[in-house]
């Protein structure tokens, strides 16, 4: 795994490629910015005050809209659209490109060449979801503009972990004393990796549960409890976090034939919901495979915070953009 230690830190208004770059103070200041943005969004509909209309008091985003390039080399709904929503609500502009048939990647252009070509168009910040490759990993920290990872292979999903932690903090005030049970395909999950780092540093206890083949070796996840049997784990968590089975990252034919058994052993459904504390909350980064990790009952349960996670995702991504690009006076950034 490459080190991102050489990357500039968010505290210096630069890139965010992995949560391990963040210092303890960064978490609280990002969350405080997100809180201020939430208040502004409620008051003004956008993340700045439109009534401050004189040239001097307009938000920086209004005076100097920045160009944010969003490059998604893997499919996305929540992360891509919430970065766009965040950028527009701050008054910025977005260039957007997917790896699908509408781009020259369909003609064989590489991720590396695509990034260099988009950089030649002069964006002020790059948001990128990439398959992990050494060439791209080495390129990103050298770019002359800040880069935010929107998900890197199986390695890191920093903004997802931040929005997950923020969602729990908004519910509970703090991560301290929370017991977070993460269930599913831990081995292939960048969400789990980033959450292990953020949630544990903020004081939560973490446990995982899933088929043996999808749980990393104990030496790879020090300090994390492993439950082999979900029914025995159900009374433990204050936060139940389901993870998607990532069919695209393993031999899907074999796994697809076993989804019923998976759901029986590790799926959250009406019966298991009864064993979960009434005070617990249920989370899932999405997309959900209904009938696999969650039955249809789960997101309708009053304990579900799945859509709150999505709403908080806009706030966290806007907070990062505001902190990195600046957001002007009367704005959320302090």
Residues that bind ligand CP (CB under 6 A): 76-80, 151, 160, 285-287
User: Nearest approach, Cβ of 50 to ligand CP (angstroms)?
Assistant: 29
In the complex, minimum distance from the CB of residue 307 to ligand CP, in angstroms, rounded to a whole number: 12
Of 58 and 284, the one with the shorter C-beta distance to ligand CP is: 284
Q: Which CB, 195 or 238, lies closer to ligand CP? A: 195
- Least distance (Å) from ligand CP to the CB of residue 99? 13
Nearer to ligand CP, 49 or 160 (CB): 160
Residue 112 CB neighbour total at 10 angstroms? 14
Q: Nearest approach, Cβ of 271 to ligand CP (angstroms)?
A: 27
**Smallest distance from ligand CP to CB 237, Å:** 20
Beta-bridged to residue 253, according to DSSP, are none
* Residue whose tokens read 């979960």: 276
CB of 79 vs ligand CP, minimal distance in Å: 3
Distance CA 318, CA 296 (A): 31
User: What values do phi and psi take at 246, rounded to 5?
Assistant: -90, 80
- Choice between 192 and 209, CB closer to ligand CP: 192
Q: Are 311 and 171 in contact (CB under 8 A)?
A: no
DSSP H or E segment with residue 319: helix 306-325
Name which of 9 and 308 has its Cβ closer to ligand CP.
308
21 contact partners, CB below 8 Å, separation of at least 6: 4, 5, 7, 9, 10, 15
| Residue where the block lists tokens 């991102």 | 4
Residue 175, SS3? coil
CB of 228 to ligand CP, least distance (A): 26
Beta carbon of residue 16, minimum distance to ligand CP (angstroms, whole number) = 15
Closer to ligand CP at the Cβ: 19 or 76? 76
Q: How many CB atoms lie within 10 A of CB 324?
A: 22
Nearer to ligand CP, 49 or 76 (CB): 76
Cα separation, 196 vs 208, in Å, equals: 10
Nearer to ligand CP, 49 or 195 (CB): 195
Distance CA 307, CA 210 (A): 24
Quick one: 2 or 287, whose CB is closer to ligand CP? 287
- Tracing tokens 């796994």 back to the chain, one arrives at 255
Q: Cis bond leading into 287, ω under 30°?
A: yes
CB neighbours (10 Å) of residue 96? 15
3-class secondary structure, 30: helix
Buried b (16+ CB within 10 A) or exposed e, 116-148: eebbeeebbbbbbbbeeeeebbebbbebebbbb
Residue 250: how many other CB atoms lie within 10 Å: 15
Shortest distance, CB of residue 326 to ligand CP, whole angstroms? 26
Residue reference for tokens 């999405």: 286
Helix axes 306-325, 78-89, angle to 10 degrees: 50
């Amino acid at each position: 795994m490459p080190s991102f230690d050489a990357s500039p830190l968010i505290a210096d208004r630069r890139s965010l490629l992995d949560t391990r770059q963040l210092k303890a103070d960064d978490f609280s200041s990002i969350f405080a910015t997100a809180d201020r943005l939430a208040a502004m969004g409620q008051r003004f509909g956008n993340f700045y005050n439109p009534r401050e209309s004189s040239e001097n008091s307009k938000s920086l985003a209004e005076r100097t809209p920045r160009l944010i390039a969003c490059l998604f080399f893997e499919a996305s709904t929540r992360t891509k659209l919430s970065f766009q929503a965040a950028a527009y609500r701050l008054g910025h502009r977005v260039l957007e490109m997917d790896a699908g048939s509408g781009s020259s990647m369909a003609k064989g252009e590489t991720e590396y060449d695509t990034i260099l070509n988009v950089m030649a168009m002069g964006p002020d910040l790059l948001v990128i979801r990439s398959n992990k490759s050494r060439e791209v990993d080495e390129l990103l920290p050298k770019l002359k503009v800040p880069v935010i990872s929107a998900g890197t292979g199986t390695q890191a999903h920093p903004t997802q972990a931040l929005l997950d932690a923020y969602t729990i903090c908004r519910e509970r005030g703090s991560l301290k004393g929370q017991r977070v049970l993460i269930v599913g395909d831990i081995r292939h999950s960048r969400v789990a990796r980033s959450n292990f780092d953020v949630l544990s540093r903020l004081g939560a206890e973490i446990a995982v549960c899933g088929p043996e083949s999808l749980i990393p070796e104990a030496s790879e996840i020090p300090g994390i409890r492993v439950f082999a049997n979900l029914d025995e784990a159900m009374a433990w968590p204050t936060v139940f976090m389901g993870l998607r089975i990532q069919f695209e990252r393993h031999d899907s034919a074999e796994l697809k034939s076993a989804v019923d058994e998976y759901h029986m052993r590790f799926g959250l459904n009406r019966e298991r919901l009864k064993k979960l504390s009434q005070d617990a909350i249920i989370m899932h980064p999405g997309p959900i495979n209904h009938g696999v990790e969650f039955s249809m009952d789960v997101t309708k349960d009053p304990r579900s915070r799945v859509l709150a996670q999505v709403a908080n995702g806009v706030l966290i991504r806007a907070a990062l953009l505001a902190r990195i690009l600046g957001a002007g006076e009367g704005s959320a950034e302090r």
